[in-house]
Amino acid sequence: EIVMTQSPVTLSVSPGERATLSCRASQSVGSNLAWYQQKPGQAPRLLIYYTSTRTTGSPARFSGSRSGTDFTFTISSLQSEDFAVYYCQQYNEWPLTFGGGTKVEIK
Amino acid sequence: QVQLVESGGGVVQPGRSLRLSCAASGFTFNNYAMYWVRQTPGKGLEWVAVITYDESVKYYADSVKGRFTVSRDNSKNTLYLQLNSLRTEDTAVYYCARDRDRYQYGYPCDHWGQGTLVTVSS
pLDDT digits (tens, 9 = 90+) for A14-60: 999 999 999 999 999 999 999 999 999 999 999 999 999 999 989 99
Distance CA B22, CA B119 (A): 18
Mean pLDDT of chain A: 97
Spell out the residues 6+ positions from residue B41 whose beta carbon is closer than 8 angstroms to its own.
Answer: none
* Predicted pLDDT at B41: 76
Is B114's CB within 8 Å of A43's CB? yes
The pLDDT of A75-91, averaged and rounded, is 96
Q: Which residues of B touch A49 (CB under 8 A)?
A: 100, 107-108
Residue of A4, A35, A96 to mutate, interface with B, max B Cβ within 10 Å: A96
**Mind listing the pLDDT tens digit for each residue in A8-26?**
999 999 999 999 999 999 9
pLDDT score of B43 more than 80:
no
Instruction: Calculate how close chain B gets to A65, using CA atoms only, in Å.
Output: 17
The pLDDT of A90-94, averaged and rounded, is 97
Cβ atoms < 10 Å from Cβ of A67: 7
Q: Which residues of B touch A95 (CB under 8 A)?
A: 47, 59, 61-62
The pLDDT of A77-99, averaged and rounded, is 96
pLDDT score of B116 more than 90:
yes
Distance CA A19, CA A65 (A): 14
Distances (CA, A) of A10 to A58, A59, A84, B115: 22, 22, 10, 25
Q: Which residues of A touch B112 (CB under 8 A)?
A: 43-45
Q: Which residues of A touch B107 (CB under 8 A)?
A: 49, 91
Band the pLDDT of B67: cuts 50, 70, 90. Answer: very high
Is A94's CB within 8 Å of B106's CB? yes
Closest CA in chain B for residue A53 = B108
Is B47's CB within 8 Å of A98's CB? yes
* Predicted pLDDT at A82: 96
pLDDT score of B42 more than 90:
no
Spell out the residues 6+ positions from residue B110 whose beta carbon is closer than 8 angstroms to its own.
Answer: A46, A55, B98, B99, B100
